[in-house]
Amino acid sequence: SQQGEEDPQALSIQEGENATMNCSYKTSINNLQWYRQNSGRGLVHLILIRSNEREKHSGRLRVTLDTSKKSSSLLITASRAADTASYFCAPHGGSNYKLTFGKGTLLTVNP
């Protein structure tokens, strides 16, 4: 498995604005997942994008994947205070089931 690196480390926005977080990785992947972690809780799976997909939507979430640049982005539209959390990407390649997480992006949505 390989580790994704999220950028920025922290992001503060106003409610209603869009939030964009980025993830870079180093080697080829089969898929890439995004997870959310609310303060004091475990990680929750948000969305998975496969290596042959370029964009995927789920509600207010939009994920893009550029395998040539080895990068992904997570866009949260019309953010809410409840979106305040840390967001982690997990690029996955190979046949094992390991996931390796970076340090995440801490998103703060101010009401």
Partner 1 sequence: DAGVIQSPRHEVTEMGQEVTLRCKPISGHDYLFWYRQTMMRGLELLIYFNNNVPIDDSGMPEDRFSAKMPNASFSTLKIQPSEPRDSAVYFCASRLAGQGNNEQFFGPGTRLTVL
The stretch among 13-21, 56-64, 77-85, 102-110 that binds partner 1 (CB under 8 A) is 102-110
Among 91, 101, 106, 109, binds partner 1 (CB under 8 A): 101
Question: Please, are residues 20 and 34 in contact by the beta-carbon 8 Å criterion?
Answer: no
The stretch among 10-18, 52-60, 62-70, 93-101 that binds partner 1 (CB under 8 A) is 93-101
Q: Is 39 in the site for partner 1 (CB under 8 A)?
A: no
The stretch among 13-21, 36-44, 53-61, 66-74 that binds partner 1 (CB under 8 A) is 36-44
How far is the C-alpha of 82 from the C-alpha of 76, rounded, in Å?
Answer: 12
Question: Please, are residues 68 and 58 in contact by the beta-carbon 8 Å criterion?
Answer: no
Minimum Å gap between C-beta 33 and partner 1 is 6
Question: Toward partner 1, which CB reaches closer, 26 or 45?
Answer: 45
| Residue 35: closest CA among 98, 85, 77 | 85
Minimum Å gap between C-beta 89 and partner 1 is 12
Q: Is 26 in the site for partner 1 (CB under 8 A)?
A: no
Q: Please provide the DSSP assignment of 39-101 as one string.
A: TTS-EEEEEEEETT-SEEEETTEEEEEETTTTEEEEEE-S--GGG-EEEEEEEE-SSS---B-
